[in-house]
Amino acid sequence: MVSTMDIALRLLLATVLGGLVGLERELHGRPAGFRTNTLVCLGSALVMLISAYAFANTPGWSYDPGRMAAQVVSGIGFLGAGSIMREGPSIKGLTTAASLWVVAGIGLAVGSGFLFAAVFATVLAILALTVLDKAERKLFNTKHSVLSIEILDHPGMLGYLSSILGTQGIDIRNVTISQQGGGTALLDFQVQVPPNLDTIALMDQLTEHESVRRAGFHY
């Protein structure tokens, strides 16, 4: 039977490990940040402790410690799905959802007493979220973004803007046009941007046209 002190230490460790992963997500402005990851890891550890020890000495009870743990793994999918958003052809939040799944596993490991595995997994998770993120940006020479341009709605403007983007090596994936009133329209270009793009020069080139009122990227 696990001692009260051991229970407290495991729950505290789960809180710290989940918080470390959550801190990285929070610093990047993700929807599931510090508190969410902390609570997921703490809750997973608690469920594992209950599953493994709460009914261990109950006479006449046959129990499987893995059953409640399995429910955590499947149930965390609902929470992870809430962090996934679709924006046009792009899907965002998959990394955050995966981090929640990993944090739940870390909590289960702490609750079951696999402390080294939990700590080492936390280190690897943080490295994956930081080091691999930088490596990914260097290895892949494009990034997805949205270019919003507000224009005076004159014929031929879409073709004119598309030709400018094409000369800059920008790949247009989709265009959404919404009327703003007063004869203006907002064009949202879903694009792939080359890493060496001079965005300041591009903005100057776009706004040189008298019909372009403003332009800006949203990454």
Q: Does the predicted model carry a pTM greater than 0.75?
A: no
pLDDT band per the 50, 70, 90 thresholds, residue 65: low
pLDDT tens-digit series, residues 170-191 = 888 788 888 877 889 998 888 8
Would you list the domain boundaries of the chain? 4-139, 143-218
152, β-bridge pairs = 184
143-218 folds as Alpha-Beta Plaits (3.30.70)
Give burial (CB, 10 Å; 0-12/13-18/19+) of 7: middle
β-sheet with 184-193: strand ranges across: 171-181, 184-193, 143-152, 212-218
Mean pLDDT of 134-163: 78
85 or 128, greater pLDDT: 128
Q: How far apart are CA 115 and CA 15, in angstroms?
A: 13
The gap from C-alpha 203 to its chain's centroid, in whole angstroms, comes to 29
Residue 13: name the closest of 115, 132, 96, 161 by CA: 115
pLDDT tens-digit series, residues 4-48 = 899 999 999 999 999 999 888 888 777 667 888 899 999 999 989
Q: How far apart are CA 126 and CA 132, in angstroms?
A: 9
Q: What percent of the chain has pLDDT over 70?
A: 79
